[in-house]
């Protein structure tokens, strides 16, 4: 990695957050040159230093003029920040890769998981979104399964780690756990109920139809990424007292009979998917095994006992890596390959 012209100049907005930190870890693993990275966060973090491959990178307060020298701007902050800063970044000639939900369902914004719909990058007009961290592993699995038979119906239940709600939620689970073990009062800032030693069957706010926004995001994003707006899909999202990695139980009904062995063979050969176990013993993926891994992990594949054209399986993926930072970096790599970064020739 000697020719620095091969690397787009990056701005990372939200560099001090849960996703921003993992984004820097992954760039460091890839030896991305420090001089090509500029870090941004809110005014609270301005002046902080973050160490990166033996360099100290300074964090600047992000504003609309921050991106004049950037080819690619990763935004990992909340939706208001994306809505405020992304148009300015596009106007200054950069490609924005946004981790939040602000633009995901907009017609002119590709929503991309490179293993599934890399070609959608082609129609970007300056902004590309990454999906919700539960949608990404689900579409990777469904995209493979639809090669076996048309999918008639999908149901997924999630078991989502607290890091999916950002670094404050990680602190909340840690503090509640310590306090409960020491017989002290607990505080709640992020979640409406105690999360330590419990479960919360609510992720994000409720909507008119009694589903939550997170459940709607998974449903709508899955249809958009798979280009299958008729897909019949329902979802229940649950927050669990796990720090890192989201898990899902997925049931898929097909039009035709599908053999479990075919599913096993298909997943074993799919890019970005690791299959664990043979379904007969205690060998299957768990969140603690998958933390820090790039692939999504699948196990416990079996026939649905209530429907002989259905299968059930378990999947686990690192929400901060493939669910967020890694997917964003892979989108940038695909955009470089496809020549879709404005003002940048590799």
Ligand X SMILES: NC(=O)c1ccc[n+]([C@@H]2O[C@H](COP(=O)([O-])OP(=O)(O)OC[C@H]3O[C@@H](n4cnc5c(N)ncnc54)[C@H](OP(=O)(O)O)[C@@H]3O)[C@@H](O)[C@H]2O)c1
> What single DSSP character describes residue 132?
P
As a whole number of angstroms, the distance between CA 224 and CA 218 comes to 10
Instruction: Check binding of 323 to ligand X (CB under 6 A).
Output: yes
Name which of 275 and 332 has its Cβ closer to ligand X. 332
**Long-range contacts for 67-71 (Cβ within 8 Å, ≥24 apart)?**
67/11, 67/92, 67/94, 68/92, 69/9, 69/38, 70/8, 70/9, 70/10, 70/11, 70/38, 70/94, 71/8, 71/9, 71/10, 71/95, 71/341, 71/342, 71/343, 71/344
SS3 label, residue 139: helix
Q: Does 81 sit near ligand X (CB under 6 A)?
A: yes
If binding is defined by CB under 6 A, does position 310 make contact with ligand X?
A: no
Residue 23 annotated to the active site: no
What is the number of other CB atoms lying within 10 angstroms of the CB of residue 330?
21
Among 44, 107, 147, 280, binds ligand X (CB under 6 A): 44
Q: How far apart are the first and last CA of the chain?
A: 13
Residue in 8, 11, 20, 27 binding ligand X, rule: CB under 6 A: 20
Catalytic residue among 23, 124, 133, 237: 133
Residue 18 binds ligand X (CB under 6 A): yes
Helices and strands, number each (H, E), in the chain: 9, 13
Which one of 104-112, 163-171, 182-190, 334-342 is the stretch in contact with ligand X (CB under 6 A)? 163-171
With CB under 6 A as the rule, give the number of residues binding ligand X: 30
- Active site annotation includes 237: no
Among 8, 166, 285, 287, binds ligand X (CB under 6 A): 166
Write down the least CB distance from residue 165 to ligand X, Å. Answer: 7
What residues act catalytically?
133, 246
Residues forming contacts to ligand X in the complex (CB under 6 A) are 13-20, 40-42, 44-45, 62, 76-78, 81, 99-100, 133, 163-164, 166-168, 319-320, 323-324
């Amino acid at each position: 990695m000697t020719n620095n012209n091969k690397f787009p100049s990056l701005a990372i907005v939200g560099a001090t957050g849960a996703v921003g930190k993992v984004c820097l870890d992954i760039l460091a693993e890839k030896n991305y040159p420090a001089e090509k990275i500029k870090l941004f966060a809110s005014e609270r973090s301005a002046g902080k230093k973050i160490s990166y491959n033996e360099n100290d990178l300074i964090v600047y307060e992000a504003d609309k003029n921050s991106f004049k020298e950037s080819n690619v701007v990763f935004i990992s902050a909340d939706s208001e920040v994306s809505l405020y800063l992304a148009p300015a970044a596009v106007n200054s000639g950069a490609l924005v890769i946004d981790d939040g939900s602000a633009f995901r369902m907009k017609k002119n914004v590709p929503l991309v998981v490179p293993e599934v719909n890399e070609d959608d990058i082609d129609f970007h007009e300056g902004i590309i979104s990454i999906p919700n961290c539960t949608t990404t592993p689900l579409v990777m699995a469904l995209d493979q399964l639809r090669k076996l038979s048309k999918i008639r119906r999908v149901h997924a239940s999630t078991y989502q780690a607290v890091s999916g709600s950002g670094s404050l939620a990680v602190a909340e689970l840690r503090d509640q756990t310590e306090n409960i073990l020491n017989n002290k009062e607990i505080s709640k800032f992020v979640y409406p109920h105690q999360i330590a030693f419990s479960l919360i069957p609510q992720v994000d706010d409720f909507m008119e139809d009694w589903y939550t926004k997170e459940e709607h995001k998974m449903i709508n994003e899955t249809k958009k990424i798979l280009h299958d707006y008729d897909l019949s899909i329902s979802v229940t999202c649950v927050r669990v007292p796990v720090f890192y990695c989201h898990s899902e139980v997925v049931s898929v009904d097909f039009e035709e009979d599908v053999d479990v062995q075919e599913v096993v063979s298909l997943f074993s050969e799919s890019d970005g998917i690791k299959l664990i176990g043979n379904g007969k013993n205690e060998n299957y993926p768990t969140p603690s095994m998958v933390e820090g891994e790039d692939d999504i992990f699948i196990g416990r594949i079996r026939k649905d006992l209530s429907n002989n054209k259905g299968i059930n399986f378990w999947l686990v993926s690192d929400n901060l890596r493939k669910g967020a930072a890694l997917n964003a970096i892979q989108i940038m790599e695909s955009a470089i390959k496809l020549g879709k970064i404005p003002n940048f020739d590799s």
